[in-house]
Amino acid sequence: MQELEEDRTCTKCGVRMHIHNTYNISLVYIPFGKILSTVRFEKHRCIYPKCNFTCMQEVPFQAGGHRITSTLHSFAMDLLELGLTNKIVSELTGLGKNTVKKIDKERLLKKYTTDDKHLKKPERQAKYLGVDEFLLHRGR
């Protein structure tokens, strides 16, 4: 209850906010065997009528941009880092293929780019460059 009190302070004027709505949230957690497990709880939306400022209560264990826990997010990243395919990770964790694809893209961006924009320079340059001969016959 103490965390809710801290979340209910308006960042603009510093006055205590009122609970405007309550939402039931379900997050997917690490599966136990072949059984998917979920965490269900209430999340509050607060409003301060004087300045019309609204905010949602933060969930510290939710992975950013997904309806999964941060534990499951890091588990899926670890499986992808081991070299497993997206399909296998999807089957092992019970996540959808698009969710696993987004997690893999996040992993690759962290690994091969600086500040998610510029590619990192390779440690060594390639000695040979391969060309597909069939594409050469089609004018490429």
* pLDDT at residue 36, rounded to an integer: 81
Q: Under 8 Å CB-to-CB from 4, ≥6 apart: which residues?
A: 44, 57
Q: What percent of the chain has pLDDT over 70?
A: 84
Residue 10 vs residues 6, 36, 49, 51: alpha-carbon distances, Å:
10, 37, 11, 9
Q: Are the C-beta atoms of 42 and 21 separated by less than 8 Å?
A: no
- Between CA 27 and CA 92 the distance in angstroms is 17
| Sequence letter at residue 126 | A
Which DSSP letter does residue 36 get? E
pLDDT in tens, 64-119: 888 899 999 999 999 999 999 999 999 998 899 999 999 999 999 988 888 877 88
Instruction: Write down the domain spans for the chain.
Output: 1-60, 61-118
CATH architecture of 61-118: Orthogonal Bundle (1.10)
- Write down the pTM of the prediction: 0.72
